[in-house]
Structure 1
Amino acid sequence: MFDLRVRHQFNAASLDVHVRSDARVLALFGPSGAGKTSLIKALEGSFAPEFAVLKAAGKTLLDTTQSIRVPTHRRRLGVIYQDARLFPHMTVDGNLRYAEQFGRAKKLNGAFEEVVDLLGLERVLHQRPATLSGGEAQRVAIGRAILSQPRALLLDEPLAGIDQARREEIIPYLLRLKRELSLPMILVSHDLNDVVRLADDVALIDEGRVVKQGALADVLANPELSQFFGPSQTGAVINGHVVAHHPDGITEIATSAGSAMLAQIETKVGADVRIRVLAKDVMISREKPIGLSALNIWHGSIVSITPAGARGVVVDLKCGSDHILAFVTNRSLQALALEVGAACWLVVKSLSLTDPQIS
């Protein structure tokens, strides 16, 4: 759905990236100043790189080798920025209807009502932007972008600068957009929790270069990237579905690694969920442990052991069809005689698998 190639020399830095993805949601992840927003600006048309071939949803928007440059206003890209950028003199209804005139010639019957319902905007339609919360304003901005009938959505740090409560208000709507609309999306973020909950593919960008790209689960489970993510963020993602909410406050999720038990979440039985298991929260035992308070005990085998600096190693374990990472000190590595192919038991506390690691 996206094929983005850009090369450009700035005064003190350069950008040289090639990102390709057929996923519904592609995330561009990396630190501030990595080049993520420059790539988005080239795609939307506000930045003209020295070399670029940019394709979105099957349409070539810019190709400097073929002198193709679709004007910005004809690229049909819905862009949502960190700040909502709503018209302050218009009501929410006016902001949304203003966007409709920039859509394709044929107005879609019922589209306005559908978007209002999708984003939960009914009760704020007659309010002006100044009276909206940060989360409400962002939802209006998203609705305005959708009503312009774009070929793709570009979300440039849409959750940055919003407190956790407002963030939790917006993310369910973004997940609903992902499920119910056939729009490809690019999410720009430096917050890995947002990427884990929303993205299907991810491209890691740092200092103007692509460090790694691919399916989210594959990239996050790559032990060689532990230094990129750091000790607090390194970890795998596993998929499952909710099988029960137990009366003692535990939600049970079926995964290929086994049953995952965690503090109860507000998700329907049968719902698909995505669990992030941080490497720092995983313990390894060579024998099946008993008498522990931890409820998650999974069996696996060691696939690789990767040095992670002076403090120890990252152990990649295969549990069912999933890969789970664990940080282990050098002392424990020797004491347990851990080696590739060895069978192990993994222990993870239920309280380590809480929001925002569930999508």
Structure 2
Amino acid sequence: MILDVDIRHRQGAFTLQARFQSEGKLTALFGPSGSGKTTLVNAVSGLIRPDHGRIVAQGRVLLDTSQGAFVPKHRRRIGYVFQEGRLFPHLNVRQNLLFGRWFTPRRERKAGFDRVVALLGIGHLLDRRPSTLSGGEKQRVAMGRALLSDPHLLLMDEPLASLDEARKAEIYPYIERLRDEGGVPIVLVSHSVAEIARLATSIVVLSDGQVVASGPASEILRHTGLFRQPGPVEAGALIEGRVVQHEEAFELTVVQTRAGTLTVPRLDYPVGTPLRVRLRARDIILSVKPPEGLSALNVLRGQVSCTGEAHGPSIDVILDCEGEALVARVTRKSVEELDLVPGRTVHAIIKSIAFDPEALGGSGFVNMRDMND
């Protein structure tokens, strides 16, 4: 178990009562502002001392109030990346990175400087000062500094919140590489469904200081009612695939999944790359007959498993497409008129332009080399 948390903490009028376990490479803490996400990561990092409970990270007890155990923050071996890079302005990038080394005894240093620099693509920045870096570059340097402290766990508190869409697109691949190749489990705080759909391998959903759901990302993202911020329509299914072809003439990429073949806007990934694809419930149309003469390029055949949460006149229909679970949001009237009962064969229709480009990224489910020398 990477992270085992069971705590209760009162802070002013707010009470956090959180209990969950995670084995994911990247665990996302999701919820609206004020739900307790930052309080929770501060408890894990040791910045606050919870009133009651227990925290275990990588098999190491960091807090156990029943035993009077509390490991102070400077001895927890936890890296922390904040919304702003918080780099030292008087030091260049190389010196900022090496600062992380001070927190680890020489004999325990495992993360190779050159490997971390290559992993984050910051070799060309080493002699520059923070004031000359873009927001995305500052965050990559901050991640590198945290990794070079050889942490047992890496905490990231909304590291993309202050970046514009272009800088987010720049940094996503590097967080994916940290997740897949870094060898350090990550806890990421976020309030963006697209962000966690792209990056998370497991998700903890918080609301008003309580954990309302936790589990693998592919399972949690199906439950659209959990994601009412910024809106329930932003949730959907998460499926795995692999790039099999690029159609350069049409600026499209073909992805093979267990559910079938999907055509998405052109991706900058080589053929053979494992991917995760988010299919939003609002972007799926259902047909009980094989569709013909459509402009939509993606049609997946499946069976109705069950119906889920209702949202006013709409209801979520859960589909089984060759073992992959999809969610389609349709009207209750359509469910009745099309007789969408469990076992009914249907065809899920998705436009290529409906795919959320922010949530198309590396799968996070492939084993890759770690970053150590």
Q: TM-score, normalised by structure 2?
A: 0.92
Deviation at residue 229 of structure 1 after TM alignment: 7.0
- Number of corresponding residues: 359
Equivalent residues in 2 for 1:317-328, closer than 5 Å: 317-328=319-330
Separation in 1, partners of 2:57, 2:227: 31
Letter in 2 for 1:62: L
Instruction: Give SS of 2:197's match.
Output: helix
Q: Cα distance, 1:228 vs. partner? A: 6.7
Equivalent AA in structure 2 for residue 298 of structure 1:
L
| 1:111 matches 2:132 | no
- Is the Cα–Cα contact under 8 Å of residues 111 and 147 in structure 2 kept in the other structure? no
The question of whether the paired residues in 2 share the 8 Å contact of 1:263 and 1:354 is answered with no
Is contact 1:226–1:314 with CA below 8 Å preserved after alignment? no
Aligned counterparts of 1:269 and 1:119: Cα–Cα separation in 2? 22
Instruction: Give matches, 1:279-318, under 5 Å.
Output: 279-318=281-320
Cα gap change, 1:283 to 1:141, in 2 (>3 Å): same
Q: Structure 1 residue 180: deviation in Å? A: 1.4
CA separation of 1:29/1:110 partners in 2, compared to 1, >3 Å: closer, same or farther? closer
- Residue 182 of structure 1 aligns to which amino acid in structure 2? G
* Runs of 4+ with >4 A deviation: 107-110, 226-229
The CA distance in 2 between the partners of 1:133 and 1:155, in whole Å, is 18
The answer for the alignment partner of 2:342 in structure 1 is: 340
- Return closer, same or farther for 1:41/1:109 CA change in 2, 3 Å cut-off: closer
Deviation by residue 1:285-313 (Cα, 9 ceiling, x = unmatched): 01011000001111111111134232221
Q: Determine the structure 2 residue equivalent to 1:53.
A: 54
- Structure 2 equivalent of residue 17 of structure 1: 18
Asked if the contact 1:223–1:316 (Cα under 8 Å) also holds between the matched residues in 2, the reply is no
- Counterpart secondary structure, 2:43: helix
The alpha carbon displacement at 1:109 in A equals: 7.5
Q: Secondary structure at the match of 1:52?
A: strand
SS in 1 for 2:357: coil
Deviation of 1:338 after TM superposition, in Å, equals 1.8
Aligned to 1:253: 255
1:64 aligned partner: 65
Deviation at 1:246, TM superposition (A): 2.3
**Contact kept? 1:226, 1:308, Cα under 8 Å:** no
Mapped partners of 2:349, 2:191: distance in 1: 29
Structure 1 counterpart of 2:370:
none
Stretch moving more, 283-292 or 175-184: 175-184
- Aligned amino acid, residue 149 of structure 2: S
Structure 2 segments unaligned to the other structure (5+ residues)? 362-373
2:264 corresponding residue in structure 1:
262
Deviates more, 1:10-19 or 1:342-351: 10-19
**CA distance in structure 2 between the partners assigned to 1:195 and 1:165 by the alignment:** 18
* Corresponding residue of 1:204: 205
State the Cα distance separating 1:124 from its structure 2 match: 1.4
Partner SS for 2:138: helix
Conservation of the 8 A alpha-carbon contact between 1:305 and 1:314: yes
Corresponding position of 2:274 = 272
Superposed displacement of residue 167, structure 1: 0.8
Unaligned stretches of 5+ residues in structure 1: none
Query: 1:213 and 2:178 equivalent?
Result: no
Letter paired with 1:104? P
Correspondence for 1:81: 82
Q: Which amino acid aligns with 1:32?
A: S
CA contact (8 A) 2:193 2:227 kept: no
Residues 198/129 of structure 1: CA separation in 2 closer, same or farther (3 Å cut):
same
Name the residue aligned to 2:236: 235
Show the counterpart of 1:157: 158
Residue identity matched to 1:215: P
Q: CA RMSD in A?
A: 1.6
- The equivalent residue for 1:121 is 122
Greater CA deviation, 14-23 or 4-13?
4-13
Work out which of the residue numbers 345, 352, 355 in structure 2 matches 1:353. 355
Deviations 1:148-205 (A, max 9, x none): 1111100111111110111111111111112212111101111111111111110111
* Amino-acid identity (%): 39
Of the structure 1 ranges 81-90 and 246-255, higher mean CA displacement relative to structure 2 is found in: 246-255
Q: Find the counterpart in structure 2 of residue 32 from structure 1.
A: 33
Report the Cα distance in structure 2 between the residues aligned to 1:109 and 1:18, rounded to whole angstroms.
32
Q: Aligned partner of 2:171: which letter?
A: I
Name the SS of the counterpart of 2:212 in structure 1.
strand
- Deviation of the 1:127 alpha carbon: 1.3
Change (3 A) 1:98 1:45: same
Please say which of residues 312-321 and 326-335 is displaced more in the overlay.
326-335
Partners of 1:229 and 1:322 in 2: how far apart?
A: 26
Q: Distance in 2 between matches of 1:247 and 1:98?
A: 45
Q: Secondary structure at the match of 1:308?
A: strand
**Inter-partner Cα distance in structure 1 for 2:16 and 2:299:** 45
Per-residue CA distance 1:74-99 (angstroms, 9 max, x = gap):
10100000011111111111111111
Would you say the 8 A contact 2:224–2:309 is kept in 1? no
